[in-house]
Amino acid sequence: MPKKKAKNRPEIENKTEGTISRRSVLKIGAAAGAAGVLAPKMLTSNEALGFQTIPEPDVRCVNTVPATPSPAHHPFLDEFTAPFPADDHPLNPQPTEFPNLGAGEADRAPHQRWAQFAPAHFTYDMSAQVGLHRFHSDYTDSYIWGFNGKYPAPTVFGKYGKSGIVRFRNNLPTFTTTFGRNEMTIHLHNGHHGSESDGFAGDFFGTGFWKDNLYPNCYAGLDAFGGNGDPKEKMGSFWFHDHRAEFTLNNNVLGMNGMYIVYDQTDPGHEFPSAGSLQLPGFYGVTDFPLILTDKRFCAPTATNPRTEMVNAAGGDKWICNGKIQPALTVRRRKYRFRILNTGPTQSYDITLIKPDGSVGTMTVIATDANFLEHPIPVDAGANAGNSNSTTAPIVPGAIRVSVAERWDVIIDFAEFPAGSRLYLRENRSMFVGNPSPVPLPPGLNIENVLLQFNVVNREPWFPPDTPPIPATLCTYPTLPATDNTWEWQFVLVGGRFRVKRPFDTVGCVFDPDHSAHCILRGTTEEWLINNNIASGWLHPVHIHFEEGRTLKRFVNGVEVPVPPLHSGRRDVYRMEAGQGALIKMQFRDYNGRYLIHCHNMAHEDNFMMVRWDICPDQASLDACIADQQVCELEMKAKESFRDEEVA
Amino acid sequence: MERRELLGRVFEPHPASPGASRYTNAVLRTQNNETVKFYDDLIRGKQCVVNFMYAECHGSCPAVTQTLKTIYRELKDRMNKDLFFYSITTKPEDDTPAALKHYAETRNADLPGWLFLTGSQYDIETIRVRLFGMDHPGLDGDLTLHSSYLRIINDARNSWGMAQAFASNRNILKRIAWQDPPKSYAERVVEARARQIIIEQEVKKYGYRRDIMS
C-alpha cells in the first residue's frame, strides 16, 4: 500500500460516494505527475477492478423551447463502420433453468424448453453501464448508457440451430443525474422465445442484478415440425433494446440498443458458394452493414462541463448513423447489403439513394423486419416508383419509409458507378449542420438532408469480389393453417389519452402488467385487425412481440386498398398512419407466456399505448386468463360511470 | 438539524432536480387558505401525485377524485409523511380556497396530505404545461384533456411517472410504487425472492407466469 499523504485528504473527502467530481479530476490533472495522489481515497469496486469511473453529468442539459440547435459539425469527417462484434465467452456462474437468485439473478419464470436448448452454444455477456461515446470528431465525448459501455451495442451473432444465452447485467449507476432510469428489461425484437427471455415491459430489474435471456435461435414451429422448427420461418436482422415501462424512450436515447443477427444456410454470413446459400453480400462490416438510425439533440460543452451531453428529446436535430453524424463509407464497385434499422425514438425516415447526377438510385429491398421477401423488390423513382410503401401519404419518389423499429434490408449495387463518384443517402427532413459540404453535392441535394456519403473506389485485389446477381426468389413463405379466432385492436386517443381498445370496450385499456387484454390458446392461428382510429395525423408503428404476421388486407378509413408491395412480406411492425388498418394473420405456438402489442413510437408506448396478451398452454389456463381479461376495461368503465354529463 | 430529524423525515431533493426552474415556485393557496410555494413547500424532496380539476366539473373530475380517495385509503400509512396528493384547480377565478374546502368536505376528501390548490391563472397554466405538456399545441391548449392524468413526482429521486386515473386502482398503485424512493440491494433481493416463490407457484398452476399476485 502506498503511504497515505495527509495533505491530500481534505481534497478527497468532500466527494460523494463512488464518484469523483469533474472539478477534482481537473485538480488531479493539474497535479499531474504527483504519484499516488489517489491513494488515500477508498477505492470503489469499479476503480479497484480498473474500470474508468465516468462522472454523472452535473449540469443538466435540458430541452429548451424553442429548441437550441446542437453544435455545428463538419460533414463526412467520420468513417461509417459496423458496430464491433460481441465477444462470445463462457459465463460464470453457469446459466441455470431456474434463476440463480443467490448469485444476483433477477426473479423470472424458469426457462421454457431448457432441456431442448441448454447448454447454449453461444454465450454473451452484456453489461449495461455508463460509457463515453463521441458522436462526431468535432464533438467532445457524450455520456451514454450502453451495453459494455458502447454505443451502438456490440452486435450479437447467432446461428439457427445453435442456441444462445445473453446475460444482461444491470451495472447502471445506482445514483444518476441523467434522464434515464436505472432499471431495465431487454427485449429481443422480434425473437421466437419464451416470455421470460422476452423483456416484458413490467419485468424490469434494478442495478446489481442480471438476467439470462435464452435465445434458442430456432425457427418457429417447434411443436408442429419438431427439431429446430420450420426453416421457412427464417429471420435475420433482429435488434435488442431496453423495454422498461415508462422509460423506454429515455433509456434508448441514452443508447441501450443494438443489433442481433442470426445466420442460417441461405444467409450464412459469408459470400462463398455453399449448399443452399443465396450468396448475398454477407461479410459483416465489410460488405454487410447494419445501418442504425436515430436522431439526437446535443448541448454544447460549457465552462463547467467539457462533455457534449445529450438532451432528453423525442426528436433531435442530428441524424446518427451507427453512432456517427454524417459519416462517409468507402465502397468498392460491387454490391453491398445494409440492414437499415430505425431505433427512433419517435421519428420516421424517408430514405432515398442519390446518384452523382442528382437522380434517385435503386435500392433493392430483400427483407422487411428481418424476414426475406419472397422476391426482391427494387425501389427507385423511375420504373420501380410504384413500389412505394405508403398507402396514402405523399412520399418522396424512390424512398423507403422507415418507421421506428422497422428493419429494411436493402442491397445497393455500386458497380455501375465509376471510381471517384460519390453517392448519398438522403433523408427527407432536414437536420442542422452548420457547415457547408466539403465536396460539391449532386444537383438538388442539400447537405442538411444527407445521412451518409458513399465514396466509390475500384475493388482492390484483396477485397471480396462481387456476389452473383440477387436471386429472383429468396424464400418461400410457410402455408398458414385455417384461422381459429379473430380479434381486433384499435389504437385510439380518448380525450388526449393514448389507449388500446378492443371493439367491445367502451373506454379502452392502458398498459397493465398484471392483466392480460387477450388470451390465446397455444397452437392456434388468429386473424387480427389492427386499426389506427385516430383521424388527426398520429402515426403508430404497431409492434407485436413474439410472432411474425402476414398482412392479408390493408384499409384506409375502413376502405380496403391493395397491400403495398413492400408491406406484403412477413412483418412484426405494421406502420399505421392516421385512419389506416391492417388485417394480419399469425400463429401462436411453441411457448407460453405474456407478450405485448404496442405502438413502437417510444413516446407513445411510455404513455400507455401498450397492452399485454397471453399464450395459455391449456384450456384451464385459458379460462382463468379469460376470466381476468375484462379487468382492465371493467374498472375503467366503472370509473367512467362517475362522469355525470360532460360540461365544458 | 437534530430537531428536524426528531420531527421526522428530512426532505432532500435529488442533486440533479431541476427544482423551481421546472416546477416553478408559484405561490398557491390551499383549501385551508394557507399560502404555499409550489416547489419549496410541496415538491421539494417529496413524492407526490398531482392532478388538475375544478369544483364545478361534472365530467371526469368526480371520477378522478373518487379514484384518488380509494388510492388514499390504500396508501394511508404514507400519506402526509412522504407522500402527498395535490389537486390543482384549472378555474381559479371560481375556485377560491373556501370553494375548494367545500368541494373537499362534501366529497369526504379533506384529508391530511391531500391539498386542493388555487392561485393565479397564469401560474396554474404554467404548472399545467410544465407537468403535462406534450409538445402538441392542440392537446396542450385544451384544458379538459389532462384532467384524468396523474403526474407522479419523486423529487428525492428526480424521477416522474404518470398514471391514467381511469386505469384500475392497482395499476395506479403500481405506478406510484414505481416512483418510490430507491431501495437497497438487500431489500430488492428479499423482494425478488418473495416474487420468485409466487412465480413458480403460478407456473405450476397455469403453465406460465401470470403475475396476478404481484
- State the average pLDDT over residues A370-375: 95
Per-residue pLDDT tens digits for B30-72? 999 999 999 999 999 999 999 998 888 877 788 889 889 999 9
Q: Is A130's pLDDT higher than 90?
A: yes
Spatial separation of the C-alpha atoms in residues A134 and A43, rounded to whole Å: 28
Q: How many CA atoms lie within 13 A of A15 on its CB side?
A: 23
Minimal Cβ distance to B209: which of A109, A643, A644: A109
Per-residue pLDDT tens digits for A56-115? 876 567 777 678 899 999 999 999 999 999 999 899 999 999 999 999 999 999 999 999
Give the nearest chain A residue to B205 (CA atoms).
Answer: A621
Which positions in chain B touch A515 (Cβ < 8 Å)? 168, 212
Spatial separation of the C-alpha atoms in residues A419 and A332, rounded to whole Å: 8
For chain B, give the mean pLDDT. Answer: 87
Would you state the pLDDT for residue B135? 65
Residues 6+ apart with CB under 8 A from A375: A472, A473, A474
Which positions in chain A touch B57 (Cβ < 8 Å)? 647
Minimal Cβ distance to B192: which of A98, A107, A196: A107
- State the average pLDDT over residues A557-574: 91
Q: Cα distance from B183 to chain A (closest Cα, Å)?
A: 9
3-state secondary structure A245-265: CCCHHHHHHCCCEEEEEEEEC
Residue type, A119: P
Q: Cα distance from A635 to chain B (closest Cα, Å)?
A: 5
Whether A168 and A126 have beta carbons less than 8 Å apart is answered as yes
Q: Where are the alpha helices (DSSP H) in A359-435?
A: none
Whether A424 and A450 have beta carbons less than 8 Å apart is answered as yes
Interchain CB distance below 8 Å, A512 and B168: yes
Spatial separation of the C-alpha atoms in residues B143 and A420, rounded to whole Å: 59
Would you state the pLDDT for residue A15? 40
Q: Cα distance from B112 to chain A (closest Cα, Å)?
A: 24
Q: Is A38's pLDDT higher than 50?
A: no
Counts for chain B of helices (H) and strands (E), in that order = 8, 7
Q: Which domains, from first to last, does chain A contain?
A: 6-48 (no CATH), 101-273 (2.60.40.420), 292-457 (2.60.40.420), 485-640 (2.60.40.420)
Whether B172 and B150 have beta carbons less than 8 Å apart is answered as yes
- State the average pLDDT over residues A557-563: 90
> Of A522, A305, A394, A495, whose CA–CA distance to B147 is shortest?
A495
- State the average pLDDT over residues A217-222: 95
Q: Is B17's pLDDT higher than 80?
A: yes
Minimal Cβ distance to A617: which of B57, B192, B208: B208
Interchain CB distance below 8 Å, B171 and A510: yes
* Residue A337, C-alpha cell as written in the block: 447489403
Interchain CB distance below 8 Å, A206 and B209: no
Give B166's pLDDT tier (boundaries 50, 70, 90). confident
Minimal Cβ distance to A592: which of B192, B199, B208: B208
Question: Measured in whole angstroms, how far is the alpha carbon of residue A349 from the centre of its chain?
Answer: 14
Minimal Cβ distance to B203: which of A57, A110, A644: A110
- State the average pLDDT over residues A192-210: 94
Would you state the pLDDT for residue A557? 87
Which positions in chain B touch A607 (Cβ < 8 Å)? 162
Q: Is A13's pLDDT higher than 50?
A: no
Interchain CB distance below 8 Å, A514 and B66: no
Would you state the pLDDT for residue A176? 85
Spatial separation of the C-alpha atoms in residues B133 and B139, rounded to whole Å: 8
Coil, strand or helix: which one is A99? coil
Give A608's pLDDT tier (boundaries 50, 70, 90). confident
Spatial separation of the C-alpha atoms in residues A357 and A391, rounded to whole Å: 29
Which positions in chain A touch B12 (Cβ < 8 Å)? none
Interchain CB distance below 8 Å, B166 and A110: no
**What percent of chain B lies above the pLDDT cut of 90?**
58
**What percent of chain A lies above the pLDDT cut of 90?**
70
On whether ipTM exceeds 0.85, the answer is yes
Whether B161 and A246 have beta carbons less than 8 Å apart is answered as yes
Which positions in chain A touch B147 (Cβ < 8 Å)? 495
Mutation target to probe the B interface, by most B beta carbons within 10 A, among A62, A246, A629, A646 is A246
Question: Which CATH class, in words, describes the domain spanning B2-182?
Answer: alpha beta
Give the nearest chain B residue to A102 (CA atoms).
Answer: B189
Q: Is B9's pLDDT higher than 70?
A: no
Chains A–B, number of C-beta pairs less than 8 Å apart: 162
* Residue A446, C-alpha cell as written in the block: 442539400
Would you state the pLDDT for residue B145? 61
Spatial separation of the C-alpha atoms in residues A302 and A616, rounded to whole Å: 55
Minimal Cβ distance to A644: which of B58, B148, B196: B58
Neighbours of A77 (CB within 10 A): 16
Spatial separation of the C-alpha atoms in residues A57 and A21, rounded to whole Å: 9
Which positions in chain B touch A632 (Cβ < 8 Å)? 167-168, 171
Question: What are the structural domain ranges in chain B?
Answer: 2-182, 184-214
Would you state the pLDDT for residue A44? 57
Would you state the pLDDT for residue B62? 82
Which positions in chain A touch B130 (Cβ < 8 Å)? none
Which positions in chain B touch A99 (Cβ < 8 Å)? 196
- State the average pLDDT over residues A494-522: 84
Q: Which of A26-40, A162-176, A370-384, B24-38 has the weakest average pLDDT?
A: A26-40
Interchain CB distance below 8 Å, A642 and B62: yes
Would you state the pLDDT for residue A134? 96
Q: Which of A221-230, A233-242, A323-332, B9-18 has the weakest average pLDDT?
A: B9-18
Residue A636: its H or E element: helix A631-640
Q: Cα distance from B169 to chain A (closest Cα, Å)?
A: 8
**What percent of chain B lies above the pLDDT cut of 70?**
88
Would you state the pLDDT for residue A638? 66
Give A254's pLDDT tier (boundaries 50, 70, 90). very high
Per-residue pLDDT tens digits for A311-328? 887 888 999 999 999 999
Q: Identify any residues that bridge with A592 across adjacent strands, giving them in sequence order.
A: none
For chain A, give the mean pLDDT. Answer: 87
- State the average pLDDT over residues A166-172: 95
